[in-house]
Amino acid sequence: MNGVSPPPIPPEPPPLAETIAYVRGLGKPTAAEVLRAARDAGRVALQPRCGVGSHSQMTTLLRDLERHARPDILTLTIDSHTRLRRFDNARAVLLRNPAELNGYPLVTHGWPRGRELNEAVSVPLEVRHGSPDARRLFETSVASGITSFEGGGISYNLPYSKAVPLSESLAAWRDVDALCGELAERGLTIDRELFGTLTAVLVPPSISLAISVLEAVASTREGVRCVSVAYPQGGHFEQDVAALRAIPVLAARYLPEEVEVHAVLHEFMGLFPKERSHAEDLILYGALLARLGGATKLITKTYLEAYGIPDTRANIDGLLLASRANSPLLDFISFDEDRVGAELEWVLEEVAEIVEPVLEAPDLYEGIESAFERGRLDIPFSASRYARSAIIPRRAPDGAIRYLESGALPFSERTLRRNRESLADRGDPSDMGAMVKGLTSDINHFLNIFGEGAGAPTRPDPEVVEQYRHT
């Protein structure tokens, strides 16, 4: 068993009253309190991605990141077996070789070990995973005293799973949100972060935000009091700033006034440059975008993204670099506010056209399911048979992401015309060869900017390659 002592079979979760008392006695803020403080101070809170299978190594990783990079929130990224509720598989791999797991199997380790992780650091933790049915994982997370939980019935199903019906994932996440509501009534607010990143590839801002609006409305109807809306950096500065600024506007329009809402930016999740200097330029660029867009929190990247899972040192360096965007010396930075205003008007109009017909349905969950069946809701490049994926996004000449094809989305003629005009030089969508070539170039957006795209000579930084070999 590779010298790994088997984790004990976890006991049943304690009563909620005991868990709430435990969180209050931890002596550290909840995720919702950290986010509120960051927003009130006008600074961007920072959070890395991290997760390994071994409990001792996970503990060390969290401590090292806190000691050397001072993040505001730390992450437990969950392994794929747990995400799919294959708990026996997770335990078998953990016993055989924890390094084979692509994250921390929290359910297998159990909530007592989750509390050990919580007590190892002074900042709150968030669970990130990708599960269409996260009920057992959420129960374990709550019992561990973890105060932030990512996901939703749409965003953690359609981008990841092929054959999970929306009705099942929506029902499972309704239970998660209902438990959040019960905790809120008892005085413990769980930050519910929504994964607007979706497939992370050329996601039009209005699709990202529309899905998050629907998940946010569903969660707040179940009693959720703190919602973080995550948006993926697309690559066009003014469009991305406008998308982040749209989040509080949409919250005011569609959510109860008493709900706290935070904008979260995921640094670019597409193909990352290999050269360390280029990767670090992109990391700083994303951090500045978060600041200027008014994001409460930034999910950071590292210079090893192009090579695989980053090591601890790269994660530390990525956090420290991103933290420079909070410097008061950068107040002089400005951009085209008129262009941002135009993009904001555009995205708000598109979101309204997508979500308002769904929100009019007598039953929201049935309305969401029906809209996806008819293509009135959709996401690009989905793995799921329950999404049509009829949307074809393309970059306009300025780099903004538009709709080359919008499928059956309920867009007005004005919206369709604006997208057509923006992409007038992008050719005929029926020319499959040209379209695939164009999409590939669009996906390689930042590689092309740095001269690392197809046909460009690639000379990875020897230091980066050497470090990656030792991860």
CA atoms of 309 and 51, how far apart (whole Å): 10
Q: Which of 227, 250, 144 is nearest to 180 (CA)?
A: 227
Identity (one letter) of the amino acid at 459?
A: R
Mean pLDDT over 143-172 rounds to 97
CA atoms of 84 and 181, how far apart (whole Å): 24
CA atoms of 438 and 418, how far apart (whole Å): 20
Provide the pairing of β-strand 226-232 with 191-194.
parallel
Whether pLDDT at 459 is above 50 = no
- CA distances to 100, 130, 446 from 218, in Å: 36, 18, 35
Mean pLDDT over 165-193 rounds to 98
Q: Report the Cα–Cα distance between both ends of the chain, in Å, rounded.
A: 22
Least confident among 50-59, 101-110, 428-437:
428-437
173 DSSP 8-state letter: H
Report the mean per-residue pLDDT for the chain: 93
State residue 309's pLDDT score: 86
Whether pLDDT at 114 is above 50 = yes
> How buried is 102 (Cβ within 10 angstroms: 0-12 exposed, 13-18 middle, 19+ buried)?
middle
Which residue, chain included where needed, has tokens 């020319």? 431
pTM of the prediction? Answer: 0.94
Q: Which of 335, 222, 338, 236 is nearest to 286 (CA)?
A: 236
Q: Which of 383, 449, 374 is nearest to 407 (CA)?
A: 374
State residue 457's pLDDT score: 39
State residue 31's pLDDT score: 98
Catalytic positions = 83, 150
Mapped onto helix, strand or coil, the DSSP state of residue 148 is strand
Residue percentage of the chain with pLDDT more than 70: 95
Whether pLDDT at 467 is above 50 = no
Q: How confident is the model at residue 8 (pLDDT cuts 50, 70, 90)?
A: confident
CA atoms of 193 and 190, how far apart (whole Å): 9
CA atoms of 422 and 96, how far apart (whole Å): 54
Whether pLDDT at 359 is above 80 = yes
118 DSSP 8-state letter: H
Mean pLDDT over 236-242 rounds to 97
Domains and CATH numbers, the chain: 16-330 (3.20.20.240)
Mapped onto helix, strand or coil, the DSSP state of residue 193 is strand
Q: How confident is the model at residue 73 (pLDDT cuts 50, 70, 90)?
A: very high
Torsion angle of the four alpha carbons 214, 32, 223, 132, in this order, in degrees rounded to the nearest 10: 50
Would you say the C-alpha torsion 433, 434, 437, 440 has a positive or negative sign? negative
Mapped onto helix, strand or coil, the DSSP state of residue 263 is strand
Neighbours of 187 (CB within 10 A): 9
DSSP string, 381-404: T-S-TTS---EEEEE-TTS-EEEE
Mapped onto helix, strand or coil, the DSSP state of residue 89 is helix
Q: How confident is the model at residue 334 (pLDDT cuts 50, 70, 90)?
A: confident
Q: How confident is the model at residue 5 (pLDDT cuts 50, 70, 90)?
A: low
171 DSSP 8-state letter: H
Mapped onto helix, strand or coil, the DSSP state of residue 13 is coil
For 258-313, the pLDDT digits (tens) are 999 999 999 999 999 999 999 999 999 999 999 999 999 999 999 999 998 899 99
Structure tokens at 456: 């460009």
The pair phi, psi for residue 191, each rounded to 5°, is: -75, 120
Contact indicator for 101, 91 with CB cutoff of 8 Å:
no
CA atoms of 269 and 214, how far apart (whole Å): 23
Least confident among 312-326, 327-341, 397-411:
327-341
Residue percentage of the chain with pLDDT more than 90: 89
Neighbours of 253 (CB within 10 A): 14
The pair phi, psi for residue 227, each rounded to 5°, is: -125, 130
Whether pLDDT at 335 is above 90 = no
Would you say the C-alpha torsion 253, 394, 334, 330 has a positive or negative sign? positive
Contact indicator for 230, 193 with CB cutoff of 8 Å:
yes
